[in-house]
Amino acid sequence: MVWTFVLVSMMAASFDVASVKPSARTVGPDYNNRIVVEPGRFSARNITLQRLIAVAYELQATQVSGPSWIREAEYDIEAKADPKITRDEMRAMLRALLSERFHVRQHDDSREMRVYELLVGPSGAKLDHQGSGFHFHGDMHEFADLLAVQFTIPAAPSNDPTQPARATATQTPVLDRTGLTGIYDFGVDMHPELGTDMFTLWDRALREQLGLRLTSRRNPVRMLVVDSSDRVPSAN
């Protein structure tokens, strides 16, 4: 039997104020969805409902399925709360937001698929690295999310390698298996190379700069299936 339920805990706290509205202009697939997470603030521009659900449930976009429009319709969100809330509390607030504004209903499933596992390398993590070219601030789950998107970006175009390429391919989930907790702030020396895809660049940078490594395997992966949702969010 599959149980379908609303995406919210009855005791979940809510944001003090939250604006949720369809984006005035759609931009299509974007490699970071313009998400900003700061103490007491969640901001997103041109974020899809698929991506928003993934963030709220510590999943990656490929782990959320449902009607095709959840991958296409884009929204702008600005939400504020007490600056002292934790990231876990903010995710709970996002789940409440999904229920209140979109009336999302979903059920859990599982699927075996190829995944990358992010692990600490044999010499230990070096997450105080401050290279130039790419800056990250967040926890390791968020870093794994970012890598999953980055790996889909093709090699730099030969006509202008200074122009950033956008994610195009289907994502392979990247699972955080580092066991590292807390918030990290580090930089990575990351520069486009002709004919070199982003997976190759990141694989090298993880090993040489951050003391991390990747392994590929087939694993059962949690899936979240959206059964129903409002495409137009309720009024702010």
Task: Write the single-letter amino acid at 122.
Answer: P
How many of the other CB atoms lie within 10 Å of CB of 79?
20
Question: Over the stretch 63-75, which tens digit does the pLDDT of each residue have?
Answer: 999 999 999 999 9
Question: Over the stretch 16-61, which tens digit does the pLDDT of each residue have?
Answer: 999 999 999 888 765 556 788 888 999 999 999 999 999 999 998 8
Going 134 to 139 to 142 to 148, the CA torsion angle's sign is positive
% of the chain at pLDDT higher than 90: 57
How far, rounded to the nearest angstrom, does the alpha carbon of residue 13 sit from its chain's CA centroid?
A: 22
Lowest mean pLDDT among 32-41, 92-101, 140-149: 32-41
How far, rounded to the nearest angstrom, does the alpha carbon of residue 45 sit from its chain's CA centroid?
A: 14
pLDDT of residue 87: 87
Give the H/E segment covering residue 119. strand 105-120
Model pTM above 0.85 = no
pLDDT of residue 162: 45
State the Cα–Cα distance between residues 55 and 77, nearest whole angstrom: 13
pLDDT of residue 167: 47
State the Cα–Cα distance between residues 195 and 174, nearest whole angstrom: 23
Question: Over the stretch 154-180, which tens digit does the pLDDT of each residue have?
Answer: 665 544 444 444 444 567 889 999 999
State the Cα–Cα distance between residues 75 and 149, nearest whole angstrom: 19
pLDDT of residue 174: 92
The token duo for 43 is 């901001």
Residue 188: pLDDT band (50, 70, 90) is very high
Residue 101 clears pLDDT 90, i.e. is over it: yes
